[in-house]
Each structure stands twice: as structure tokens, then as C-alpha cells.
Amino acid sequence: MNFEPLKNCKYAVLGNPVAHSKSPQMQNAGFEFYGMGSIYGKIHVEREELAEFVEYARKNLSGFNITVPYKQDIIPFVDRISDVAKLSHSVNTVKIENGRFYATSTDGIGLATALQVHFNKEVKDLKVTFAGAGGAAQAAAWYFACNGAGSIFIANRSLAKAEQLSAELKKAFPVLECVVCELSDREKMSDFIKKSDVLIQSTSVGLKDDDGAPFELDILDGMSDLCVYDLIYKETKLLKYCRQHGIKHANGSDMLLYQGAASFEFWTNRKAPVDAMRQGLENA
Ligand code: ATR
């Protein structure tokens, strides 16, 4: 076996890179809450080792999370898949029973719970603008569409990617309002935001400390009813601007928490101890 097998672990996060992942500290706080010990590890797997990992997991694990870049690559190996994971071509959680893989994505419910907790917003009839159309936006957009969102506006640097996502969403949900524009199109972007309850920042702009903002921030001026959620886990330029201009906002750390809580419940059928898991994340 080329990847490092886990000692005493029944669960793990699979990825490449994976060293930075805080999921073990978060999930182990949950497992320890129920007296199950620290049974969640991390596994770095190269693409050519994926099939080998799958065989290892079937025999040795009870479940695993999947992070970049394998959320789509794992799909051919699963035995059953939830609708939202199938539609979004994205799996972040697998439960293993008798060697069979049951796959789902908890990214969408993680985001929806964070929006509920921070802004008291429900997905049903929600009008939402995405800045970005990458993997994270796609998983969230499909979850929103599957759960009755009213309008989905997508602004992306490359228009083609937004158009493709929109076309797939509209094919599956013909009555859904779904419109796209280029992220640099100030006029259309302003129009989307004006019509939206929530703006989800899902580009990678802001991950690095010296990054700028993904779009011209003054288009947010006067949007006193808008809620801004940045999937990045820290205060980005966008969030700083919101703080300084009295716009409701939150960073992505609670999405990580709530997707982890949903994974925990999917595996164990027990209520996730969210406070303990949050503490685990904060200690990480
Ligand atoms: P993730 O899985 O985190 O969503 P991803 O699938 O690589 O990551 O998507 C990254 C997103 O950030 C995309 O929407 C990407 O835009 P493109 O589709 O045009 O590539 C966006 N992005 C990355 N760098 C950007 C930049 N400098 N300006 C604007 N958008 C950017």
C-alpha cells in the first residue's frame, strides 16, 4: 500500500493535499463526546491510489469524508448515492456497511444551516447570488435547487462555467429562475444582488492574505437587507468591507462545522454534539 494506513481509525478524510484539514479534530471531538475514542484520521491519496484506497476502506473503515480533488472521482466506486450528490457530481461523505458505499454530500446542508443560524434564512423561496461557479458553488446551488430556492443568480469569472451550471439546473428544475453573468459585469451583478436575500462568495479570491476582492465592493453600498456569506474561513476583504459598512455577514467556518455535523449524523445515526465539535475546531 503506498498511502499510509490508519491505526485504530474507523473514519477518515481523504484528499490531496489533506495535511491542513481540521476535520479530524472536529470529528474526534464528536466521537469522544459519545465515548467512542479518537477514531477519525486523515489519508493522503494520490490519484492512481484511489482504487487501492477504496478496497482498503471497504475492509477497514465505517465511513470517510472526501475533500479536493476527489469529490467527483469517488463516484464510480459508490454503491448508492443521494439525489443531491448525484445531480451535483459531488460526494463529500461515504458511509460503509458490509463493504457497501452509501454516498451523499453534506456541503449544501452545512451551508443552509449556517445561513439559518447566522441570518435566520431558510432555503425555501430563497433568492441567492453566487460569486463563483466552482465545485463549492455547484454543490450549494444544487442543494438550494433541490430544496425549493426561488432564484439562483450566478456570477463567475468564466461565463461558460456559469452557463453550463445554469443550463443543468434549469434542465432539472424548469421553473427555477437561474440567470448568469460575468463576475466583472458590474451592472448585472448589482442587479442580481439587489434581487437577492443572500450573496454567497464561493471564489478562491481571499484565501491568500494579499488577495483583493472578487468584485468591486462598492456595489454593496446601500444593500442594508443583504446577507453576505463568504465560504472562506477567515475575514476576507469582502467581509471586512461588510463589517465596516453595516452589512450582515459571516465567514465559512460554520459551514465546515455543520457539514461535519451532518456527516457525523449520517454515519452514526446520533445527534451531532455541535458545541463539542465547534470546540474541537477552535482547538485545531
Ligand atoms: P472550489 O472547489 O473551492 O469551488 P474551484 O472549483 O477551483 O474551487 O473554483 C474556484 C472558483 O473561484 C471558480 O469560480 C473560479 O472562477 P473560474 O471558473 O473562472 O476559474 C474562481 N476564481 C479563481 N480565481 C479567481 C480570480 N482571480 N478572480 C475571480 N474568480 C476566481
**Residue 157 exposure: Cα atoms within 13 Å on the Cβ side:** 9
Task: Report the alpha-carbon distance of residue 104 to residue 107 in Å, rounded.
Answer: 9
Place of cell 495535511: 19
> 41 CB less than 6 Å from ligand 1?
no
> 132 CB less than 6 Å from ligand 1?
yes
Sheet holding 93-97, edge to edge: 40-44, 11-15, 63-66, 93-97, 100-104, 80-81
Q: Is the confidence at residue 248, as pLDDT, over 80?
A: yes
Q: Residue 5's pLDDT is what? A: 78
Instruction: Provide the pairing of β-strand 100-104 with 93-97.
Output: antiparallel
Count of helix runs (H) and strand runs (E) in the chain: 10, 12
Positive or negative: CA dihedral 190, 192, 196, 202: negative
- Helix 135-146 × helix 107-119 angle, to 10°: 70
- Considering only CA atoms, which of 252, 15, 235 is closest in space to residue 110? 252
> 232 CB less than 6 Å from ligand 1?
no
Q: How many CB atoms lie within 10 A of CB 83?
A: 12
- Ligand 1 atom nearest residue 211's Cα: 27
Percent of the chain clearing pLDDT 90 (strictly above): 97
**C-alpha gyration radius of the chain:** 19
pLDDT band for 44, please (50, 70, 90 cuts): very high
Alpha carbon separation from 232 to 51, 57, 61, 207, 212 (Å, rounded) = 31, 30, 30, 7, 13
Instruction: Provide the pairing of β-strand 63-66 with 93-97.
Output: antiparallel
Nearby residues of 187 by Cβ (< 8 Å), 6 or more positions away = none
Q: Which one-letter amino acid corresponds to residue 23?
A: S
Pocket probe mutation, ligand 1, options 143, 157, 231, max atoms within 8 Å of Cβ? 157
Q: Residue 3's pLDDT is what? A: 77
Per-residue pLDDT tens over the stretch 172-212: 999 999 999 999 999 999 999 999 999 999 999 999 999 99
Alpha carbon separation from 238 to 5, 25, 213, 234 (Å, rounded) = 40, 28, 6, 11
Q: How far is ligand 1, taken at its centre, from the CA of residue 134, in Å?
A: 6
Cell numbers placing 165: 451550471
Per-residue pLDDT tens over the stretch 54-67: 999 999 999 999 99
Residues with catalytic annotation?
71
Q: Residue 202's pLDDT is what? A: 97
SS3 177: strand
Phi-psi label, residue 128: left if phi above 0, alpha if psi -120 to 50, beta otherwise: beta
Q: Residue 4's pLDDT is what? A: 79
For residue 230, the surrounding DSSP H or E stretch is: strand 227-230
> 156 CB less than 6 Å from ligand 1?
yes
Q: How far is ligand 1, taken at its centre, from the CA of residue 179, in Å?
A: 18
> 184 CB less than 6 Å from ligand 1?
no
Per-residue pLDDT tens over the stretch 118-152: 999 999 999 999 999 999 999 999 999 999 999 99
Cell numbers placing 45: 491519496
> Cα-flanking dihedrals φ and ψ of residue 92, to 5°?
-115, -5
